[in-house]
Structure 1
């Protein structure tokens, strides 16, 4: 009977301690801060964004995401509701972007302001102020990367086509014709000068023939120059396309520079935090495992500690206490 009473007391104690722990957890996690709700609607995807995700204003945490749903007025848009601290300087010129947390794939809301207004944001259809959600620059680069690579490939194909053997032969022929035309013009000038000097007699001057020869030479020169001009124009256009594509890839603020900044952020910040969090979780799991093993072997340890428990009446090894002198006399 006494053993049952001890077991009942231990059970009631465990229930009481569990209820106290639950109440303490609810009290510690309660949200007593005053916040202001804002809405954002976008036609782009919000991959990686979850409820309770952080909201940062210029990198400072000012709130969290409270709801993500479809816009009831524009069914193709996503409606995101955030709760922001009143201390955050939200104005009509404040805008939001979707930022990513390293390599985790999770997203958060990044707020920024261009300083063009000091008035509060205008309310939306539901009366809740709305903040414009702009596309992510990294997402824009990713979306345009395919088109950019296609243009670079197209420019390289045109350059290869221009440098093909048959085109090289045409270019060489055009340059040869230009040289021949220049030589013909030079010869024509010398001939004309000699003719004008030697044949001053109008009866001997053959000016119509000389003019026809000069006209033919000039036409040949003009045709060769036009061919060279068209060829050089095509080369210049292809080189410009290639230079523009390479500038977008390797220039300041380009794809390669932004990818390098993201990799450095992951190596310096995200990976060390993940490693520390993993070590803390491992230590906590080992401690919980030891506590569970102890309670499984000896549940009464919650009341009497981890020491050995003396056997009670009716249990093997029980020894009755010695009677006092007064009890023996009776």
Structure 2
């Protein structure tokens, strides 16, 4: 009986301790945080992401992944449902990416916001709103790796063409021709050595010539200065031209009109003299007897149609 009593006491103690540990675990793991549900849909691979994975907003834990399944609204897409603290600033411009943790490679959801909107995303647990899920760094790297592999393949193909037997022969020939050209340049350089040696003398002669040209230019400049200075030849020539222009203007204004009048009088006198000479030529006796009476005209006594006095 005593052994049975000890066994029952031990069993009761174990049960009590177990119950206390369970209550302690429940108390320690209790979560009074209010969370809202959000959905994310993507056609990308979400390898490494598991339910209960952490959701971080710019590195700060704000929730967890509730489930991962297929999207019933978009055929072929993967649906990720997360629960996020109401205190997290989830707006209409918030977006998500799938990131991975360091060495373990376990995935988690990384939230970020580009700041285009300050309006909070309306929540509805019956039909959770959707947060855009953009490709993460791994997906971008995989896409870029395909492009890089294609470029490497093209480069290797071009390299194989470049290293073909024909191109190698052409390169060898070009190198040989370069060597021959270098030898020719050396020979030309040796032939130019005497010319190069005479360059200092030519330089001295050129310097002397330049000095002579500079001296001549200075003389011409001085002569031009003397000619153009006040009271110089150019100044006097300018004054003479001004005086000549003034004399011509005076002659034109005063003398020319008088000469024109004298010429008109001379012309009238010549015309009168010409009429007198013509009259003498027609009737020379008029110099002795005078011109006589004029011939009667029509209707006058003594008029005759033949011009003879009656």
Q: What TM-score does the superposition give when structure 2 sets the normalisation length?
A: 0.51
Contact 2:36 2:123 in 1 (8 A): no
The answer for the alignment partner of 1:3 in structure 2 is 3
Distance 1:99 1:31, change over 3 A: same
Distance 1:168 1:52, change over 3 A: same
Contact 2:51 2:65 in 1 (8 A): yes
The answer for the alignment partner of 1:74 in structure 2 is 74
Equivalent-residue separation in structure 2 for 1:169 and 1:123 (angstroms): 74
Structure 2 residue runs of 5 or longer lacking an equivalent are 175-310
Equivalent-residue separation in structure 1 for 2:9 and 2:126 (angstroms): 56
Matches within 5 A, 1:245-256: none
Residues 1:17 and 2:5 are matched in the alignment: no
The one of the two structures with greater contact order (alpha-carbon pairs below 8 A, sep at least 6) is 1
Compute the displacement of 1:119 (Å).
1.6
Equivalent-residue separation in structure 2 for 1:122 and 1:13 (angstroms): 52
Compute the displacement of 1:121 (Å).
3.0
- Which region of structure 1 is more displaced relative to structure 2, 136-145 or 38-47? 136-145
Output one character per residue of 1:264-309: Cα deviation in whole Å (capped at 9) or x when no partner: xxxxxxxxxxxxxxxxxxxxxxxxxxxxxxxxxxxxxxxxxxxxxx
Distance 1:46 1:124, change over 3 A: farther
The answer for the alignment partner of 2:34 in structure 1 is 34
The answer for the alignment partner of 1:152 in structure 2 is 152
Output one character per residue of 1:152-197: Cα deviation in whole Å (capped at 9) or x when no partner: 12123213313433246668999xxxxxxxxxxxxxxxxxxxxxxx
SS of corresponding position for 2:98 = strand
Equivalent-residue separation in structure 2 for 1:4 and 1:123 (angstroms): 60
* Alignment RMSD (CA, Å): 2.8
Distance 1:143 1:125, change over 3 A: farther
The answer for the alignment partner of 2:64 in structure 1 is 64
Compute the displacement of 1:139 (Å).
2.0
Equivalent-residue separation in structure 2 for 1:65 and 1:124 (angstroms): 17
Contact 2:68 2:79 in 1 (8 A): yes
Residues 1:121 and 2:115 are matched in the alignment: no
The answer for the alignment partner of 2:130 in structure 1 is 130
Equivalent-residue separation in structure 1 for 2:7 and 2:68 (angstroms): 49
Output one character per residue of 1:73-103: Cα deviation in whole Å (capped at 9) or x when no partner: 2241111111111221111111100000112
Structure 1 residue runs of 5 or longer lacking an equivalent are 175-330
